[in-house]
């Protein structure tokens, strides 16, 4: 087989979405992209289509890798990588990954990061062979039926300021989507709330299913249960919702969510990085 790559910016968004769907066929979690979903992802995650690549096999696009970049940090993130089902386990993934890493080095990037489902053993092995090492396990949670909780006062908070607080008080190596830079890019109907020195960011709180994108307690106030109480107040204020914490949260935060009645999801992810 003859492998090559071309910039993803050479193709229109609908074709990129379709290629993602082919690349994630029979994936661990059913994924179906459309153009609007892709455009939202490009904005929120800072994906650079000029640096993203399509895998061309015998003159046909058969794979895609979306690359997000933050120039000041000289870090690349492999935001998504999918290869058509018929080419998997035939060397295409290894070739593609080495090409992406080589281009990152040429850009002067210092590291590349990614998240991969822990139970997706073929993908984990591919990244390990390419030099990636585990940073931490990332977990998710789910909570339903929250009507019985007691409400405490919540104040709405500016999303951009929330991003600044995460950069100041959060872990320095948070997963890309939870970093201060990413949270600052969110726009309404996403919302941020605070109660004293505890803060939370959610997707549209009026929807039936709400995603929690960030939970933060200022450093000098930790260990007092503020995060758990904030979650309880949030769920009581917007009662009757299904609350989803995506598998992007560091495992060390598990107790905060468990104390608020969340159940841990079955699938987890590895946060991984490779120095360039």
The 10s digit of each residue's pLDDT in 244-265 is 999 999 999 999 999 999 999 9
Residue with tokens 């995650």: 45
The DSSP 8-state label assigned to residue 255 in this structure reads H
Average pLDDT over residues 5-20: 98
What CATH number belongs to 140-267? 3.40.630.30
Tell me what pLDDT residue 147 has. Answer: 63
Say which residue the tokens 């970049």 belong to: 69
Return residue ranges of the chain for CATH 3.40.630.30.
3-109, 140-267
Best CATH choice for the domain 3-109 from the list 3.40.50.300, 3.40.630.30, 3.30.1330.90, 3.50.50.60: 3.40.630.30
- Residue where the block lists tokens 């289509």: 49
Q: Mean pLDDT, the chain, as a whole number?
A: 94
Contact 269, 118 (CB under 8 A): yes
- Is the pLDDT confidence value at 91 over 70? yes
Q: Say what the pLDDT of residue 28 is.
A: 79
Q: What is the mean pLDDT of residues 12-24?
A: 97
Give SS3 for 11: coil
**Does the pLDDT at position 143 exceed 80?**
yes
Determine if the peptide bond prior to 77 is cis (ω within 30°).
Answer: no
């Amino acid at each position: 087989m003859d492998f090559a790559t071309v910039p993803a910016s050479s193709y229109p968004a609908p074709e990129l979405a379709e290629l993602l769907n082919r690349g994630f066929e029979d994936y661990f979690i059913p994924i179906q992209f459309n153009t609007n979903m892709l455009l939202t992802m490009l904005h929120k995650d800072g994906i650079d289509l000029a640096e993203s690549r399509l895998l061309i096999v015998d003159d046909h696009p058969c794979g895609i890798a979306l690359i997000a970049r933050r120039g000041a940090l000289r870090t690349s993130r492999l935001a998504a990588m999918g290869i058509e089902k018929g080419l998997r386990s035939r060397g295409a993934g290894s070739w593609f990954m080495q090409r992406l890493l080589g281009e990152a080095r040429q850009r002067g990037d210092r590291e590349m990061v990614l998240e991969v489902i822990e139970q997706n053993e073929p993908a984990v092995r591919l990244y390990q062979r390419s030099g990636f090492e585990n940073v931490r396990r990332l977990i998710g949670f789910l909570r339903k039926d929250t009507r019985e909780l007691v409400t405490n006062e919540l104040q709405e908070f500016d999303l951009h300021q929330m991003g600044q607080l995460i950069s100041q008080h959060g872990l320095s190596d948070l997963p890309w989507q939870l970093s201060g830079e990413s949270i600052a890019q969110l726009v309404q109907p996403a919302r941020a709330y605070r109660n004293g020195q505890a803060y939370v960011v959610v997707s549209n709180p009026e929807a039936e299913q709400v995603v929690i994108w960030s939970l933060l307690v200022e450093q000098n106030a930790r260990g007092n249960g503020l995060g758990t109480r904030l979650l309880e107040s949030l769920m009581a204020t917007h009662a009757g919702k299904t609350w989803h914490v995506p598998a992007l949260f560091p495992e060390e935060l598990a107790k905060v969510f468990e104390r608020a009645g969340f159940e841990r999801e079955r699938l987890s992810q590895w946060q991984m990085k490779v120095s360039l």
